[in-house]
Amino acid sequence: MTDTQTQPQHAETDDDRSDLISRVRTILGRRTEGRAVALLSVVVVITAIMEPIVFTSYEVTLGRIALIGLVALGLTAVILMGELDLAVASTLAVSGVIMASFESLPLGILAALGTGLLIGVVNAFFVIVIGINSFIATLGMLFFLRGAAFVISGERPVRLTNVDAGIAFGQPLIGPLTPRMLIFIAAFVALHIFLTRVRVGREFYAVGGNREAAHDAGIPVTRRVFTGFMISGFVASLAGVINTLERTAADPTAGSAVLLASFAAAIIGGVLLNGGRGSVFGTLLGASSLGLLQVALTLSGVQVDVQNIVIGSVLLLAVITDPSSLRAAAGSMRALVRSRAGP
């Protein structure tokens, strides 16, 4: 992993210094947020020069970050275990539609969140009990749930019965912070504490790092995977509830744009797709840089299509500049050169 043991033959006088350097390198090597920091700095510098208005109208920017970041937070929990939940986009849509179908607002919200948890359970069932690869299982669910959202809504946006509550929800609550941002901050803090301080959460890393070893060490892998998918399903439905409240209507096609951005946020943030490495903080950095980028592009009058090209390219770059991808590429290149030189 890290290249700390590469310089053992230093002169004695250099020992202390090289020891310190190697310790710093170890700490840095353990962190996976490097690319998110780099992207965030580049985006901040460029927007500060080109579109400084992005920072003065920070309510918009923060709102966008919260939109991308919330779904990405839930995804982080699943990706840490080496699984993937592509169904989040449809979970968002279907839970919004279900919520809007209820007359009573609290009942609707409860039903929506329950739907999210249920979807998480179903996803985890297919992945861990049946043994389907999570990419394929959640891809099928993505399609199934998108269809379900269309069926429930009758293929058109469903208006919220209680429009006033929705309008109130969009207003700033504490200072400039709207409830959406507060919920995002709360989810961030909760998940951060869960994954770094709570035993169950820390075991997510073990499950993602080496499932066999985690199982042998007595970690209930099946239950952890169920928990992970339930977190991502719940958070996605929470995002659906917030979207529906803010727009006072539920759109059955919602979420397809969020899918790309939220994956990009988690992966840029250094959450390793194979599991075991990454942090909620990295996801926050990834979401911040993407949110900033999107708002800056929108304010400069760049079309949505071009924005998709930019975000898609960022995601592609993020996947192939992953440390393990770069190592694999170096290995592949050596193999290619050898096979060329050989018979």
- Chain residues that interact with another protein, rule: CB under 8 A: 84, 86, 126, 130-133, 135-137, 139-151, 155, 252, 259-260, 263-264, 267, 273, 303, 305-309, 311-313, 315-316, 319-320, 322, 324-326, 328-329, 332-333, 335-336, 339, 342
Q: Which is nearer to another protein, 299 or 310 (CB)?
A: 310
Note whether 89 and 198 are within 8 A (CB): no
Smallest gap from residue 282 Cβ to another protein (A): 16
Smallest gap from residue 77 Cβ to another protein (A): 17
Six token digits for residue 208: 């993602």
Q: Which residue has the tokens 């499932």?
A: 211
Q: Which is nearer to another protein, 166 or 282 (CB)?
A: 282
Smallest gap from residue 6 Cβ to another protein (A): 24
Q: Which is nearer to another protein, 1 or 198 (CB)?
A: 1
Q: Which is nearer to another protein, 102 or 135 (CB)?
A: 135
Q: Which is nearer to another protein, 22 or 283 (CB)?
A: 283
Q: Phi and psi for 159 in degrees, rounded to 5? A: -80, 145
Smallest gap from residue 10 Cβ to another protein (A): 34
Note whether 77 and 267 are within 8 A (CB): no
Question: Residue ranges of the alpha helices (H) in 248-322?
Answer: 256-268, 280-299, 304-320
- Side-chain half-sphere CA neighbours of 206 within 13 A: 18
Q: Which residue has the tokens 């919200």?
A: 109
Among residues 181, 183, 182, 217, the alpha carbon closest in space to that of 199 is found at 217
Smallest gap from residue 140 Cβ to another protein (A): 4
Six token digits for residue 294: 């999107």
Note whether 153 and 235 are within 8 A (CB): no
Smallest gap from residue 264 Cβ to another protein (A): 8
Q: Which is nearer to another protein, 86 or 238 (CB)?
A: 86
